[in-house]
């Protein structure tokens, strides 16, 4: 088994994480509630991640970009909802600070995101 795709996915994810965290911190600084800030951060990061994963991680230029984008978005929304639920649990029940909780929720959702995209969004 090769670890190239998971490694590339994680590197793209790291770039997406930077985009996500900056957008999230900016939104919180402007007074947004955590889940609204997470939604804005998700929208920014998912756009960056789609194009990088399509071109580099999965080298999936052979398929329809619009179909791939729709599937990628659905997989990402599923992973986001999982992460948002975890974010809410960590900040509300565990009283974890907001930014570390956001990071933990993204890390926890990553394997779901990779598997969904490999098996469906960019399947060959």
| pLDDT tens digits, one per residue of 83-117 | 999 999 999 999 999 999 988 998 899 899 999 99
- Structural domain span for residue 112: 4-121
pLDDT at 75: 96
Contacts of 27 (CB under 8 A, 6+ apart): 36, 37, 40, 41
Determine the average pLDDT of the residues in 48-73. 93
- Torsion over CA: 16, 18, 21, 23 (sign): negative
Q: How many domains does the chain have?
A: 1
Residue 95 has what DSSP assignment? -
Average pLDDT on 11-17 reads 92
Q: How is residue 100 written in tokens?
A: 């570390």
With CA atoms as reference, report the closest residue to 39 among 112, 88, 91.
88
Average of pLDDT values for 72-77? 94
Contacts of 34 (CB under 8 A, 6+ apart): 28, 87, 88, 91, 98, 102
Q: Are 123 and 93 in contact (CB under 8 A)?
A: no
Q: What is the pLDDT averaged over residues 65-82?
A: 94
Average pLDDT over residues 3-26: 93
For tokens 């996500």, what's the residue?
A: 20
- pLDDT of res. 124: 66
Percent of the chain with pLDDT over 70: 98
């Amino acid at each position: 088994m090769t670890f190239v795709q998971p490694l590339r996915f994680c590197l793209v994810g790291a770039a997406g994480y930077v985009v996500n965290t900056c957008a999230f911190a900016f939104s919180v600084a402007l007074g947004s509630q955590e889940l609204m800030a997470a939604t804005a951060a998700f929208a920014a990061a998912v756009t960056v991640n789609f194009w990088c994963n399509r071109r580099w991680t999965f080298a999936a230029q052979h398929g329809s970009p619009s179909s791939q984008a729709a599937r990628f978005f659905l997989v990402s929304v599923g992973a986001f909802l999982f992460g948002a639920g975890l974010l809410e649990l960590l900040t509300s029940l565990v009283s974890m600070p907001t930014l570390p909780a956001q990071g933990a929720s993204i890390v926890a959702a990553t394997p779901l995101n990779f598997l969904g995209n490999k098996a469906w969004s960019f399947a060959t």
